[in-house]
Structure 1
Amino acid sequence: MSGPWILLRGLTRESRHWGAFATLLAARDGVLPIDLAGNGTEAHARSPLAVGAYVDALREQAQRRGASAPYRVLAMSLGGMVATEWALRYPGEIERLVLVNTSMRPHSRVYERLRPSAWPALVRVARDWEGNDSNGIAERLIHGLTCARRDTLAADLEAWREIRAGAHVSRANALRQLAAAARFKARGAPRCAVLVVSSRGDRLVNPVCSTRLARAWGAPHVEHPWAGHDLPHDDPQWLVDALHAGDMAANAAGQAAGRV
């Protein structure tokens, strides 16, 4: 029987940002959210400048928390790059990989990995980053860039400000994470089963990045019709259903291969 899904968030985000998605997935499978160095429970740590260093820290965390390989990993954005590197460096440790709205060289261009239309808002986020964001400017801008659903805005901002106050990510760590993401290059394709997931309404990362990645790796790709970059926030049940549909397809393919 497979172990829990390891959940990896992206740039400056942490386990609590999974929100309802983690609860829904936990009702069907076990979940083990792990924070990247510099975020959440690891906010005290210095974020590395290389994606490979995040992998080393994650492997230690997973083992310390009682998880055992092979792992199933669902990761988004920067977390997807880290999960990819993990699967490439330690192929025996990753059983399944689900990548949500991620991008990486050599499959995506700079202006696709971070849409130019998002740059002005990101500059404002960086300017207003330090402190607890009591006026909500930084988190409101992030919400506008990453979320298509607006009906939860007030509750989201309240929750996100509490997260920020309890485990603040420093501006230095945020910039180091951004640098690590920009420098990352996937050297080959993972050998494990991979599902690529994207959002058609992603205003931060062009969904063509996921299309090209899936094509290059020969991996299945599913696209949400309207969600933003933070797909787990916008439509958590859709993502849980897509994940389990992918599981069933992978199991069927495995059984068919075993009969050949």
Structure 2
Amino acid sequence: MSDALTTWVLLRGLMRDSRHWGDFPQAFAREMPGARIELLDFPGNGALNEQSSASSVDAMADYCRAELQRRGLKPPYRLLAMSLGAMAATSWASRYPQELDACVLINTSLRPFSPPHWRLRPAAWPAVLRLALRPPAVRAIERMILRLTSRLARDPETLLDDWTQWRLSHPVSRANALRQLLAAARYRAPIAAPATRLLILNSARDALVDSRCSQRLARRWDCEIAVHPSAGHDLPLDDGAWVIEQIRRWL
């Protein structure tokens, strides 16, 4: 399929929205000439923060399908998704493979392939519990998230300026955060691989999710995987050029 005829759909993770891609979509578009880039937020996040989040991953995937139809975009699509977004992409690919031409999953963790202490590293539990039970000031929240998700971020203070402003302008409610956490915890991927071309991208130094989650998934589903040796969980933030190059090579 020609990139000129392809809609690429980008999906972010837990409690994050399309602004958190930063300049990655523009860089991606430059390297995929003619491709149409669509950024989708899940209800409860970003500009949709006043809506109720879905409490199931399948419902998140169905929202994305309906939103693309509302925008007048017809399948097949290509998905680029990370973390919770990659769970939604997996649900989509498993139930409606005819709608997808390709699917790239970044640093995801799926039941039943990985145990709980891989899906969220024990070393990250104190910080996550603090955020949930006694959240500090907004900038401190974002600084903690950056520490958990990035190893290579450039100009982190400017990045924190942006993230802090975004949190203040479109806060995710506690109820919506809990719905998204519940959806992620409950989702169980199929044992058999989806009937869609799959590429898994993985960060060896992910401080949030054990890199073995992606590696075991790639073995079980017998699909291609590329591992970045030094990036953190937010791989497009840490090395977007590497992500784009892996996708170009794979395609």
TM over 0.5: yes
Instruction: Tell me the TM-score normalized by structure 2.
Output: 0.93
Query: In the alignment, which residue of structure 1 is the partner of 2:197?
Result: 193
Contact 1:72–1:97 under 8 Å retained in 2: yes
Q: Distance in 2 between matches of 1:129 and 1:160?
A: 16
Alignment map for 1:53-92 (pairs within 5 Å):
53-92=59-98
Give the residue type in structure 2 aligned to 1:169.
V
Q: Distance in 1 between matches of 2:250 and 2:71?
A: 27
Query: In the alignment, which residue of structure 1 is the partner of 2:22?
Result: 19
Query: In the alignment, which residue of structure 2 is the partner of 1:241?
Result: 245
Q: Distance in 2 between matches of 1:147 and 1:54?
A: 25
Unaligned runs of 5+ in 1: 248-260
Unaligned runs of 5+ in 2: none
Cα deviations across residues 174-212 of structure 1 (Å, max 9, x unaligned)? 121111111111123110100001001100000100001
Moved more, 83-92 or 27-36: 27-36
Report deviation, 1:128.
5.0
CA-atom RMSD in angstroms: 1.4
Contact 2:54–2:180 under 8 Å retained in 1: yes
Alignment map for 1:70-149 (pairs within 5 Å):
70-129=76-135, 133-134=137-138, 136-149=139-152
Identity %: 45
Report deviation, 1:25.
0.4
Instruction: Tell me the TM-score normalized by structure 1.
Output: 0.90
Give the residue type in structure 2 aligned to 1:185.
R
Corresponding residue SS for 1:119: helix
Query: In the alignment, which residue of structure 1 is the partner of 2:236?
Result: 232
Moved more, 92-101 or 145-154: 145-154
Q: Distance in 2 between matches of 1:28 and 1:173?
A: 35
Q: Structure 2 vs 1, CA of residues 60 and 129 (structure 1 numbering), >3 Å: closer, same or farther?
A: farther
Corresponding residue SS for 1:174: helix
Corresponding residue SS for 1:27: helix
Q: Distance in 2 between matches of 1:150 and 1:106?
A: 32
